[in-house]
Structure 1
Amino acid sequence: MPGLGTLLNIVAILAGAAIGVALGNRLPERTTRVVTDALGLVVLVIGGLNLASLTDAAFVAEVSAGGTLLVVLGALLLGGIAGSLLRIEQRLEDFGGWLQRRFSRGTETQEGASRPLDDTTTGLVTIAALSPRERFITGFVDASLVFAIGPLAILGAFADGTGQGIDQLALKSVLDGFGSIAFAASLGWGVAAAALPVGIWQGGLTLLAVLLGSVMGDAAIAAITATGGVLLLGVGLRLLNVRAVAVGDLLPALIVAPLLTVAIGALGIV
């Protein structure tokens, strides 16, 4: 049944978040910071591995060896401009804040509600310095980006929608479940809220695959995977508090990348 893989993924995120919150209450701040650092390093590794799609045979055949990097660069630039104009990152944070206000039973000071998530000079923020609202938003935004950007989200949803099974989404569910534990141990219930955008994104891709079948070629999928790898590197930098990269504003690049691939291949530009 199409959509079963995404449903399994949602359950895994919710269950992992519940376990993480239960563990987080019993762990010192230093331990939860180490857990988040470990997750950030793993995300960097996954992002780096995804960049191997730049050498994918179908991608190279479509746009040439030198064109693959240009496609990713062009997608990031055009997607970043569009995302910043649409203020996607800010909208994600606002949505996370709305969810926190909706479900939180506590009250917060005006200072805690209005203070920005990071230092505008350094882009760094420590978990201990976050208010409950900020912790919820950070958990929601970062977890949503990690769980929704990866290639398994796209490939698995397409495989599910085209009747090839839910094996890839089942694997993703296991990974996201453990990731949710690590996230929620330090960032709390905002991680559970990430199940909502994951469900919408993967469910939409599954429905698209059901309607259109296997129309998207291997080159386009490789372009999405490579571009997603760059975005995951940005998420990793956020988790490690190296730089608060506005990955949300770069999300349109995932749409631009396959369009550029098809256009370049059709016109023979490169």
Structure 2
Amino acid sequence: MIPLGSIVNALAIIFGSVLGCWLQSRFPERIRAIVFQGLGLCVLLIGIQMALKVDNILIVIFSILLGGITGELLRLDTLFERLGNRFKTIIKSDNAQFTDGLITSSLIFCIGAMAIVGSLEEGIRGNPTILYTKAILDGFASIALAASYGSGVLFSFIPVFLYQGSMTIGAGFFQQYFSDPMIAQVTACGGLLIIGIAINLLELTEIRLANLLPALGYVVALTAIFG
């Protein structure tokens, strides 16, 4: 089947990012700074809302710890930075925040209940309504993100489309794993990562979020075993 919801979602991100990049070049530095800070506060709220959906806090804690250790051992931050910079070279972008924008926006758009539930809903019942709603939200979010980070946000449509599209096409297979408790745990773990994004945006400290990404795999595995 054709994942229409994911296609519309990807197009919304592209359109919003183009608009955000256009606005970025017209904002003076002080406006860009306050937009960055405002975005950080909004992302913090999103992350807190997601994290509070936790079903078993111990599983999430161990997932974050194990994920961080795994990510540091694998040096995922360096790997993602190299991939982002290579992609940046291919498209000949001179945006210094290209890689940060790509990774940050991909995390925000891919992590969450709407991405999972919407993809499964379209794949099983042929109803893309949830993904259409997510597309509207992501479209507006991409405007703000692109106005802050620039062109890297635009290319986050690629992981979003691949992630949601694959779940839609393989919905029958994924459905057996993504029960309500599983979705709650993944959403909560993802919420903590998004709080980390907010902390980075607000420049409170620097969290190497790429090295925490394995936590999402651990939370699925640990929830399946102990949840």
Whether TM exceeds 0.5 here: the answer is yes
Question: Identity of paired residues, percent?
Answer: 37
Q: 1:134 to 1:152 in 2, by over 3 A?
A: same
Pairing 1:194–2:182 present? no
Q: 1:183 to 1:215 in 2, by over 3 A?
A: closer
Instruction: Assess if the C-alpha contact under 8 Å between 2:49 and 2:191 holds in 1.
Output: yes
Aligned counterpart, 2:57: 69
Instruction: Assess if the C-alpha contact under 8 Å between 2:196 and 2:209 holds in 1.
Output: yes
Hey, which bits of structure 1, 4+ residues long, moved more than 4 A? none
Pairing 1:92–2:107 present? no
Name the SS of the counterpart of 2:96 in structure 1: helix
Instruction: Assess if the C-alpha contact under 8 Å between 1:24 and 1:185 holds in 2.
Output: yes
Aligned counterpart, 1:18: 18
State which structure, 1 or 2, has the greater radius of gyration over its C-alpha atoms: 1
Alignment partner of 1:102 out of 86, 90, 110: 90
Which whole-Å deviations, capped at 9, do the CAs of 1:13-64 have from their partners, x for residues lacking one?
110111111111111111122112212111111111112212xxxx4xxxxx
Which whole-Å deviations, capped at 9, do the CAs of 1:87-134 have from their partners, x for residues lacking one?
2222222221111111126xxxxxxxxxxxxxxxxxxxxxxxxxx342
Alpha-carbon separation, structure 2, partners of 1:256 and 1:215: 14
Offset at residue 9 of structure 1 (A):
1.0
Aligned counterpart, 2:170: 208
Letter in 2 for 1:36: F
Aligned counterpart, 2:118: 156
Aligned residues: 227
Instruction: Assess if the C-alpha contact under 8 Å between 1:136 and 1:191 holds in 2.
Output: yes
Offset at residue 147 of structure 1 (A):
1.4
Instruction: Assess if the C-alpha contact under 8 Å between 1:13 and 1:173 holds in 2.
Output: yes
Alignment partner of 1:231 out of 193, 203, 224: 193
Aligned counterpart, 1:9: 9
Aligned counterpart, 2:101: 139
TM-score w.r.t. length of structure 1: 0.78
Q: 1:46 to 1:95 in 2, by over 3 A?
A: same
Offset at residue 214 of structure 1 (A):
4.3
Aligned counterpart, 1:53: 53
Which whole-Å deviations, capped at 9, do the CAs of 1:152-203 have from their partners, x for residues lacking one?
2222222222226222211211111111111111322111111112122222
Name the SS of the counterpart of 2:103 in structure 1: helix
Aligned counterpart, 1:38: 38
Aligned counterpart, 1:28: 28
Alignment partner of 1:245 out of 198, 202, 207: 207
TM-score w.r.t. length of structure 2: 0.92
Cα RMSD between the aligned structures? 1.8
Unaligned stretches of 5+ residues in structure 2: none
Offset at residue 204 of structure 1 (A):
2.5
Alpha-carbon separation, structure 1, partners of 2:23 and 2:171: 38
Alpha-carbon separation, structure 1, partners of 2:157 and 2:63: 26
Which whole-Å deviations, capped at 9, do the CAs of 1:211-254 have from their partners, x for residues lacking one?
34444221111111111111110011111122221112111211
Instruction: Assess if the C-alpha contact under 8 Å between 1:2 and 1:160 holds in 2.
Output: no
Q: 1:73 to 1:213 in 2, by over 3 A?
A: closer
